[in-house]
Amino acid sequence: MTLTRMNRFPSLWRDFDELFRDFAPAASQPENAARTMVPATDVVETEKAIELKVDMPGVTPEAIEVKLDGNVLTLSAERKAEVKEEKNGWVRQERSWGRFARSFVLPETVEGTTPEATYKHGVLVVRLPKKEAAQPKSFTVKVEA
């Protein structure tokens, strides 16, 4: 007896395969093609600042550009591709490489004149202090009994 796989939804499976092909570019693109790199970013708001924590492993500090234009923060960098040598026994290459840029529209509460940026262990941290007027104020209230 021979078993034959019955494919009742061929277009659904084709669409499903195409969806996941975007998540595994190494399997679907030529070996030397540049891959899209969109680094994961956490945005944290504190009482005094907004911080962006951007994963950029493998990027040299010299290749990172932080630009603040009005209320738009643009981060750009380039990660160079490793040269594949067949003697190293490459089986698969999934890490992305190439140039990328990512922009964030900042709220009006951010003070754009004094941003700070640090890069350590593959994570870029950009700290944008809030304007003095946007920071919460607290007052002590005297209560008379």
pLDDT of residue 9: 57
Whether residue 89 lies inside any domain: the answer is: no
Q: Residue 70's pLDDT is what?
A: 84
| Residue 108, in any domain of the structure | yes
The answer to whether position 59 is within a domain reads yes
120 domain-assigned: yes
Q: Are the C-beta atoms of residues 129 and 46 closer than 8 Å to each other?
A: no
Is residue 65 within 8 A of residue 75, CB to CB? The reply is yes
64 vs 47: CA distance, rounded Å: 27
In a domain, 56, yes or no: yes
At 142 the pLDDT is 77
Contact 135, 115 (CB under 8 A): no
pLDDT attached to residue 33: 46
Residue 44 tokens read as 């944290």
Which residues are bridge partners to 73 per DSSP? 68, 104
| pTM as predicted | 0.62
Residue 32 domain-assigned (yes or no)? no
Q: Name the 3-class secondary structure at 12.
A: helix
Domain assignment of residue 9, yes or no:
no
User: What pLDDT sits at residue 34?
Assistant: 46
Instruction: Give me the pLDDT at residue 27, please.
Output: 46
Split into its structural domains, the chain has a count of: 1
Q: Averaged in consecutive runs of 10 residues, what is the pLDDT profile of the chain (145 residues)? A: 55 62 50 62 91 91 90 88 67 75 88 87 93 70 79
CA 74 – CA 128 distance, rounded (Å): 13
pLDDT at 26: 46
Can you give the pLDDT at residue 47? 87
- CATH number of the domain that 108 lies in? 2.60.40.790
CA distance to 99, 132, 133, 144, per residue, from 141 (Å):
55, 22, 21, 10
The backbone torsions φ and ψ at residue 15, rounded to the nearest 5 degrees and listed phi first, read -65, -40
Write down the pLDDT at residue 75: 92
Give me the pLDDT at residue 69, please.
87
Q: Which domain holds residue 115?
A: 37-82+96-134
pLDDT at 100: 86
Whether 130 maps to a domain, the answer reads yes
